[in-house]
Amino acid sequence: MFSKATLDFLGELAANNERAWFDANKPRYEALVREPALAFIEAMAPELAKFAPHFRAEPRKMGGSLMRVFRDTRFSRDKTPYKTNIGIQFRHELGKDVHAPGFYLHIATEGCFLGVGCWHPEPDALGRIRDLVAAQPERWFKVRDDRKFAAQWQLSGERLRRPPRGYAADHPAVEDLKYKDFVAMAPLSFAEATRPGLVKLAGARFATSAPLMKFLCDAFGVAY
């Protein structure tokens, strides 16, 4: 699947992030990035079915689990046209427009990692998560501190400086209620990201995120 040559290509793309270079190297992009990514996605489908049957691995060139290589530069000062990482997301079967957490793989020369949860949720979605944390703090602590989960994952994301409006400053989970993202990260070494066993490794680590993923699905009223 992914190889050192994949990482080398991403590094070259970062140094030559322009349309003419990308067009000239499109066959290399296909062979070193898109084809391995689609193979990984296809192989992940039976893995996801074991522990998250309502999430989908869709190995399509467009509109599936592989995120677009083209950057949206409309509101950015950085006008380079291409992403220099590989992003793969496994979304809920109800579709991308439904509030639900997801699974994510990130591969880049700066570092690789697995991610789970809800990154930059919309205000309504964020409110639902916070409401469940506030209503069931003991359940939340059990999720957050689950031994298998905590051994693999680190809660991450942006946080408010003060408690969000509508939640008591002395709430037992107030520090977690400050999160603007409810995501967890698990780093991948370059060796792990480029070895043949990546599918099994990713599946095993994703499986340990079940406590968080189920909690978030419950917040949105969707099946895990």
Residue 8, C-beta contacts closer than 8 angstroms, at least 6 positions apart: none
Task: Indicate the pLDDT class of residue 77, thresholds 50, 70 and 90.
Answer: confident
Q: What is the mean pLDDT of residues 174-191?
A: 98
Distance CA(24)–CA(4), nearest Å, equals 21
Say which residue, 20 or 76, is predicted with more confidence: 20
Q: Which pTM was predicted?
A: 0.95
- The DSSP bridge partners found for residue 179 are 159
Distance of CA 161 to the CA centre of its chain: 25
Closest by alpha carbon to 222, among 55, 52, 100? Answer: 100
For residue range 139-149, what is the model confidence (pLDDT) as tens digits? 999 999 999 99
**Would the pLDDT of 197 be above 80?**
yes
Element (H, E) at 57: none
Tokens describing residue 42: 């296809």
Q: Crossing angle of helices 198-207/35-51, nearest 10°?
A: 40
Distance of CA 48 to the CA centre of its chain: 14
**Would the pLDDT of 66 be above 90?**
yes
Residue 211: CB atoms within 10 A of its CB come to 19
Q: Which domains does the chain have, with CATH numbers?
A: 4-220 (3.30.930)
